[in-house]
Amino acid sequence: MSEHVSAHVSTLCEDICPTDIISTVEFNSTGELLATGDKGGRVVVFQREQESKNQPHRRGEYNVYSTFQSHEPEFDYLKSLEIEEKINKIRWLPQQNAAYFLLSTNDWKVFPDPNITPTDSSLPCWHSSPCPDKTVKLWKISERDKRPEGYNLKDEEGRIRDPSTITALRVPVMTPMDLMVDATPRRIFSNAHTYHINSISVNSDYETYMSTDDLRINLWNLEITNQSFNIVDIKPANMEELTEVITAAEFHPNQCNILVYSSSKGSIRLCDMRESALCDNHSKLFEEPEDPSNRSFFSEIISSISDVKFSHSGRYLMTRDYLTVKVWDVNMENKPLETYQVHDYLRSKLCSLYENDCIFDKFECVWNGTDSVLMTGSYNNFFRMFDRNTKRDVTLEASRENSKPRAILKPRKVCVGGKRRKDEISVDSLDFSKKILHTAWHPSENIIAVAATNNLYIFQDKVN
């Protein structure tokens, strides 16, 4: 697989501002838009340029389309708790009209508010309450390229005219203006979560979505903001008995009654909402027995699943734990179909990774459009791709030095012992502060977005 760099979005500042760290990346369903969320609560949406015959070398590059502040830092006075504004997840809704809709969530809130009417201002309008509710936000992103001109009651600058000076009536006309992209919050889904939200997933019925925290999954109707249904609750009656938490959840891509959720114990549960209102009892439990020869102090930590994704076909599940990516057949619960080692050379380094907290990093994983290639991140700004058919894998690096436009990415290799070859990098030289946790793959083309701390890299496959 050769990857040809087509665009690279640069940072806001050379030193890494903590609020600029990208925390989520997501293509919309057509791949036309790419959204990123960062630790500062901002969302940046990129739009793919229309391919033009005049400039064939600019084949569909992504440019900034809209930027808005989705979540603000808040303080819960009741619990003396500061609520992080970092965007944990963004999920696009399927497009039904000219406007685009996305759901964004921080640890606590998923958003939009129906009582707020959009104004002519290009600033997003939302209301942050002094006693913040735990909410999810639905944002509407729409374009305006015309504005009304020729009001009767106000002049061109917006000042109210003295009615006695008005001698004639005119009809305001829509006149062209520079394109403006507005982001407005449309729904605020509130008060549903006690614990940190880790996932949101839009259902294939396009009417509902679910939000997931450590212990509960809630089902929402996109139109109804003041109530949600709890469909999974694993909170024990006695919190002493807590042994696992939910780490991620997703709806089946086309069966609107099926969902899966992963746990910190390394298991995945599939639930069918038709079976009962509360899906505490799973329909299927995917679990692989632990290999006793690999047992260590850190076995529990590294078996915790950080991400679960259905394949586009819905036939397979992919899970990511600290050292591996696994593909499961939905019809086979007792072991995964395939297991891929992401960075097994770290197995002997778990103690130091525990010391520097890297062992708690939560890597995501993604499928390509045809479910034949898997991608996930690693350290040193490396990311890995696994071809399920050829069984080949490649390690690539997202860094400025290696990513001049039009350059082809060179595969990287980590030397695990013995003699280090010229191009290889030894395990001890890896930079563990440069981690790629979030990646995204275009739904139909070989275009990938890789978030490396505060940089976003977009790579395209070379086509001749």
Partner 1 sequence: MDVTAEAKQIMIQALGKMYSSRTQRGGLRLHRSLLLTLVMKSARDIYHSARLQSENKAQCDNPSVTDNTSQTEEPMDTSSKVSEVSSVETQCTDDVHEHDQHLLSPAETIVDKENCNPTRQDRHSRKRRSKTATEPDFLPCKKAKLNSGEVRGILQTSQNNPANCGRRLDSFSLVHMPRAIVSF
Give the DSSP per-residue string, 318-354: EEE-SSEEEEEETT--SS-SEEEES-GGGGGGHHHHH
Nearest to 436 by CA among 374, 365, 371, 363: 363
* Smallest separation (angstroms) from partner 1 to the CB of 358: 12
Distance between CA atoms of residues 377 and 399, nearest Å: 13
Locate the DSSP E strands across 49-196.
Answer: 62-69, 74-76, 81-83, 89-92, 100-105, 135-149, 173-190
Give the DSSP per-residue string, 221-266: ETT--S--EEEEE---SSGGG----EEEEEE-SS-TTEEEEEETTS
| CB nearer partner 1, residue 294 or residue 372 | 294
| CB nearer partner 1, residue 19 or residue 204 | 19
| CB nearer partner 1, residue 142 or residue 299 | 299
| CB nearer partner 1, residue 36 or residue 247 | 247
* Smallest separation (angstroms) from partner 1 to the CB of 153: 48
Q: Which amino acid is at 285?
A: L
* Smallest separation (angstroms) from partner 1 to the CB of 359: 9
| CB nearer partner 1, residue 14 or residue 291 | 291
Distance between CA atoms of residues 134 and 365, nearest Å: 27
Question: Look-up: residue for tokens 């734990």?
Answer: 321
| CB nearer partner 1, residue 14 or residue 297 | 297
| CB nearer partner 1, residue 156 or residue 240 | 240
Strand partners, 48: 62
Nearest to 83 by CA among 115, 106, 113, 59: 106
* Smallest separation (angstroms) from partner 1 to the CB of 230: 16
What is the binding site for partner 1 (CB under 8 A)?
Answer: 76, 79-84, 86, 107, 194-196, 214-215, 238-245, 247, 264, 292, 295-301, 304, 351, 354-355, 357, 360
* Smallest separation (angstroms) from partner 1 to the CB of 71: 12
* Smallest separation (angstroms) from partner 1 to the CB of 131: 14
| CB nearer partner 1, residue 241 or residue 428 | 241
* Smallest separation (angstroms) from partner 1 to the CB of 324: 17
SS3 29: coil
* Smallest separation (angstroms) from partner 1 to the CB of 450: 25
* CA separation, residue 129 to residues 71, 76, 112, 125, 328 (Å): 12, 10, 13, 13, 44
Nearest to 193 by CA among 222, 221, 223, 217: 217
